[in-house]
Amino acid sequence: MDERRNSPRVEFSVQMEVRKNGDVFQGTSVNVSESGILIETNKKLDLGDRVLIRLVLPSSKEITGTGTVVRQQEFGKEGIGFAVHWELNDDQKRTISEIIEQEIE
């Protein structure tokens, strides 16, 4: 999820639930691509952590997928951002692609 991305990235802000080893916390998506998502939260995660992410889209459609934390960054005074590389099935990838196409238009 560095500057050598192969997937278009679009700004996309929705509330989400993130789970790691039974710990559940809230976050907000910052942007999304077919390969990953950038999430802002106040919870610190470590590089390599595997997480389960649940997004509820404005259409009420829900996406749940797993991924691995590949990058961290600070947001404001207390916020932390982390980039997650997706591990999605074909249906989930299709939904993410549809989101990106709608946002690009």
What is the 8-class DSSP label of residue 26?
E
Model confidence at 1: pLDDT above 60: no
- State pLDDT tens for residues 34-75: 899 999 998 889 999 999 999 888 878 888 899 999 999 988
Both tokens of 77, joined, read 């005074």
Domains of the chain: 10-104 (2.40.10.220)
Tell me the C-alpha distance between 14 and 60, whole Å.
Answer: 11
